[in-house]
Amino acid sequence: MSFVSGQKYRFVYSYMSIPDTLNKNNIINENMVLEIDKDKSVFISQRKMISDSVMAEDAKKGIMTMPDENINTRYIIVKKYPDFKTNLITDEFSTSYRFIISDDRSLHWVLLPEKRTIGNYECQKAELDFAGRKWIAWFTEEIPFNDGPYKFKGLPGLIIEIKDLSNSHGFQLQGMKKIEDKSVPVIIDEKKKIRSFTFKDFVTFYKEYRKDPAKEFRQRVLSGDVYYESEEKRQEHMKLIESLRKERVKKDNNIIELDLLK
């Protein structure tokens, strides 16, 4: 495939992750999409992209459709060119707000002389210390985009493969194509209220969230936003939600940005 500046391209990566260090047999596999346009790139779960598109089309017809329950990765990452300003967009932490988290951290790659062929592309090795993990990447100058999966960027070509040394998280390019008009569009929900964070402010929020993941729900209940038939049912449901969310956080102990847990 030849690559022309200004055209749209879609790259599909497989994403492997192990969310719980105490259950390493629970390996999550998901296809992710990196869509590159002339002024930005968008990185999103393929399932989420399709689900969001279906919901948007159904909404135009007055039909309410629920999101795909099998989506594992719910964030969207947008990198704006040419400076690669990076925003992570997510509704994972709130039912009322869509978070936009700006991340201006620099990536300090170390290019290594080692080369290997992956698929049809000659690739070069690079190393990176980022977010509490050491990463090994393979990139190719034959695909002239200084981009890659997740927040990875800044190499002299597209990242074909990247994984951390513990093999807890890894991305592998599976395929690519030029974007046609009939392709599924990337949908970013604009209806929710927005909370914007610098990365530093988000770190503070995230640490508090992990200590009390049911805080927002509890506040909604106490303010009367959630109705219950009796005080007994209210207390019972609140305890259930708090228990479920604390258990979910407990099992999510091997996140991609490991230093957020420090």
User: What's the first-to-final CA gap in the chain, in angstroms?
Assistant: 44
Query: 36 or 6: which carries more pLDDT confidence?
Result: 36
Which two three-digit tokens encode residue 245? 């969310």
Q: Directed axis angle between helix 231-251 and helix 215-222, to 10°? A: 170
The mean per-residue pLDDT over the stretch 115-132 comes to 98
Q: State pLDDT tens for residues 29-49.
A: 999 999 999 899 999 999 998
Average pLDDT on 99-105 reads 97
pLDDT tier, 131 (very low <50, low <70, confident <90, very high otherwise): very high
State the Cα–Cα distance between residues 255 and 117, nearest whole angstrom.
30
Q: How confident is the model at residue 260 (pLDDT cuts 50, 70, 90)?
A: very high
The predicted-structure confidence for 45-79, as pLDDT tens digits, reads as follows 999 988 878 877 777 788 877 777 778 899 999 99
Beta-bridge partner residues of 100: 89, 196
Alpha-carbon gap, residue 80 to 102, rounded angstroms: 11
Inter-CA distances, 17 with 23, 153, 166, Å: 12, 20, 11
Q: List the alpha helices (DSSP H) in the chain.
A: 46-60, 199-211, 215-222, 231-251
More confident residue, 224 or 182: 224
Determine the average pLDDT of the residues in 105-113. Answer: 98
> Using one digit for the tens of pLDDT, what is the confidence trace for 160-178?
999 999 999 999 999 999 9
User: DSSP class of residue 184?
Assistant: P
Predicted confidence band of residue 185 (pLDDT cuts 50, 70, 90): low
